[in-house]
Amino acid sequence: MAYSDHFKRTDDLILHLDPILAAINDPFIESRYTGFLAVSGVTVLELALKNIFCDFAAAKHPVLGNFCSQYFYRINGRIGLKLIKDDYLAKFGSKYQQRFENRVEKLERQHLLTANTSIKASYGNLITWRNSFAHEGIVPVNASYREVKRAYDCGKEVMHCLAGCMRR
């Protein structure tokens, strides 16, 4: 399965929720859907990240592939940019860390110019919103459904960036 196949789960959820939320005028209900979307978004990004690293490792050597599948088995939403760069990529070497950092910075500049949005901040916010909702039952009060959708799209861009870096 390609890493991007995981996105379909949340993309389909968004297609389902968009018309529902357009018709809802209840902030309480909208906030619950917003939290649910944050959880779903981070879940598929986590699955994509696992796929990217495990596929890369398996292509290098079967033993490394097996190690990676065990290592990434339960990362539970631990997919922040700093963690990706300083922990996960560090295990593969500085070449991959630097490549990822350069590509994320380029993506950040492009997004700031074209969409006036920070990829890095949006991605980090999505993880924060997910953690608050999933672990504490706290609804992301400072995030709308639209903002969570945008942050999820930014997360997909980060995963595309990571996948592009993890090529031999």
Evaluate whether residue 146 is within a structural domain: yes
Distance CA(68)–CA(55), nearest Å, equals 9
Domain that includes residue 90, residue range: 32-165
Evaluate whether residue 95 is within a structural domain: yes
Q: Looking at the predicted structure, is the pLDDT value of residue 141 above 80?
A: no
Number of domains forming the structure of the chain: 1
- For 87-137, how does the pLDDT look when each residue is reduced to its tens digit (9 = 90+)? 999 999 999 999 999 999 999 999 999 999 999 999 999 999 999 998 888
Evaluate whether residue 61 is within a structural domain: yes
Evaluate whether residue 23 is within a structural domain: no
Indicate the pTM of the whole model: 0.94
Distance CA(4)–CA(89), nearest Å, equals 19
Evaluate whether residue 97 is within a structural domain: yes
Evaluate whether residue 76 is within a structural domain: yes
Evaluate whether residue 43 is within a structural domain: yes
